[in-house]
C-alpha cells in the first residue's frame, strides 16, 4: 500500500496565510546578495514565500517584512524588478 505524500505548506510573508508551497512564489536572496524571483523553488539562498498577486508584495514591503525575512535591505529598484517578474508569471 502506497504512502500518501504531504504537500509542503508555506506562509505568505505579505498576508500571513498558509498555502501549499506550489501556490506561492519563492523570492530568494542568493549567496551573492541579489534578490530575485525563484520560479523553480530550488535556488540556493535564503527564501521567502509570497502570493503571486502584487497586493501581498506591497503588504510585505510596507511592513518591511520581506527585508526582515531575507535579512537584506530590499531597495525600490529591486522591488520594481520583483513586481515586474510577478506580473510576468501571473
**H or E element, residue 48:** strand 46-50
Quote the longest CA-to-CA distance of the chain.
52
SS3 21: helix
Q: Residues for the chain: how many in total?
A: 90
- Grid coordinates belonging to 57: 508584495
Question: What's residue 90's pLDDT?
Answer: 63
Question: What's residue 82's pLDDT?
Answer: 86
Closest CA relative to residue 7, chosen from 49, 16, 18, 69: 18
The whole-chain average pLDDT of the chain stands at: 89
Interatomic CA distance for residues 31 and 76, integer angstroms: 20
Q: Which domains does the chain have, with CATH numbers?
A: 9-89 (3.30.1230.10)
| Percentage with pLDDT > 70 across the chain | 97
Amino acid at each position: 500500500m502506497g504512502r500518501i505524500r504531504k504537500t509542503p505548506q508555506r506562509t505568505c510573508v505579505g498576508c500571513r496565510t498558509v498555502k501549499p508551497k506550489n501556490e506561492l512564489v519563492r523570492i530568494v536572496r542568493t549567496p551573492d546578495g541579489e534578490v530575485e524571483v525563484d520560479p523553480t523553488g530550488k535556488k540556493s539562498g535564503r527564501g521567502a514565500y509570497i502570493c503571486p498577486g502584487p497586493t501581498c508584495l506591497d503588504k510585505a514591503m510596507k511592513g518591511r517584512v520581506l527585508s526582515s525575512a531575507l535579512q537584506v535591505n530590499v531597495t525600490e529598484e529591486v522591488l520594481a524588478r520583483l513586481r515586474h517578474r510577478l506580473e510576468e508569471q501571473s
